[in-house]
Amino acid sequence: MSRIVISEFMDERAVAQLGAVHDVLHDPTLVDDPARLQAEAARADVLIVRNRTQVRGELLAALGKGRIIGRLGVGLDNIDVAACEARGIVVIPATGANALSVAEYVIGTAMLLLRGAYQASADVASGAWPRNALGNGREIGGKTLGLVGFGSIGQLTAKLAQGIGMHVIAFDAVLAADHPVFAASGVRGATLDEVCARADVVSLHVPLIESTRHLFDARRIAAMKRGAVLINSARGGVLDEAAVAAALKSGQLGGAAIDVFESEPLPAGSVFAGCPNLVLTPHVAGLSAESNERVSSLIAQRVLEELR
């Protein structure tokens, strides 16, 4: 029997599945109590985390006999993967399990921001009737979606977008523009400059690594179509937040949806105060009732296989 420590929220059914065979501690408050987390990690064979537990430095050192890290999500920027590999610790991400939630977030926010008419509830309920102001929004059908990063989430987003009549172009630093995955999905492989110049909606789906830090800075945003919509559900740091705020205020960006931030939670008094046509969400693009279940059950299953 192995000791499994889960430091953030995991679906109860998946926890029970693990608990039927192993000794499990599921305590979502552990992530906020570093001393207790380290003490528990010292006795753990398996540590399961979401994106808030930083698996590096002291915590990694404390994981004396730990040999498996389960990640209830996809991005691995909160885990020192190289150090884990060097110590023979297996890192298991929930690849693909929350892709649909993120792809739906992109399509939902793109429609909302292009149309610009769905944030009028308080005005309409209070007797205002801003019909002229809101009657000139844009349709999504026929528009071009530009994807930056064409991995599992980029590809699923393309499929949903095509279903509502969008043209899709995509840039991926690893996949050449003539890679068969583009033809197979009816998406045109493009350069990053082309994506910026042509897309009405640009959506980011790259990991946060050195080459993607501030990939969308003031210069890149200035190269986008005037009035285009920018969506970041990838990682904070991939875009320059001050540049996005300035572009929304100047009208260079016609809207933006941002789910992930350089610093989370986003501190009060951020650069986004007073920006028009902006949707901010607290890192929930990949979270939904269904994806929470899929992610948790996939990690439980993979951890059980690894322990067998």
Instruction: Copy the structure tokens of residue 251.
Output: 């009208």
108 part of the interface to ligand NAD, by CB under 6 A:
no
Q: Helix (H, G, I), strand (E, B), or coil: what is residue 59? A: helix
Give 3's contacts (C-beta < 8 A, 6+ positions apart): 22, 23, 25, 43, 44, 45, 46
Which one of the listed residues 12, 58, 85, 264 is annotated catalytic?
264
Q: How far is the CB of 283 from ligand NAD (least distance, A)?
A: 6
Instruction: Copy the structure tokens of residue 37.
Output: 């987390």
| Binding segment (CB under 6 A) for ligand NAD, from list 80-88, 131-139, 165-173, 183-191 | 165-173
| Binding segment (CB under 6 A) for ligand NAD, from list 112-120, 133-141, 151-159, 249-257 | 151-159
Q: How far is the CB of 173 from ligand NAD (least distance, A)?
A: 3
Size of the site for ligand NAD (CB under 6 A): 31
Q: Which residue has the tokens 């300035």?
A: 246
Would you say 51 or 144 has its CB closer to ligand NAD?
Answer: 51
Would you say 61 or 284 has its CB closer to ligand NAD?
Answer: 284
Q: How far is the CB of 218 from ligand NAD (least distance, A)?
A: 18
148 part of the interface to ligand NAD, by CB under 6 A:
yes
- Is cis: bond before 265, omega within 30 of 0? yes
296 part of the interface to ligand NAD, by CB under 6 A:
no
Pairing of strands 68-71, 144-148: unpaired
Instruction: Copy the structure tokens of residue 54.
Output: 């930083």
Tell me if 97 sits within 8 A of 287, measured CB to CB.
Answer: no
Measured between alpha carbons, how far is 149 from 204 in angstroms, rounded to an integer?
A: 6
Determine whether 139 is an active site residue: no
Catalog residues that contact ligand NAD under the rule CB under 6 A: 73-75, 98-99, 102, 148-154, 171-175, 205-207, 211-212, 233-235, 259-260, 283, 285-286
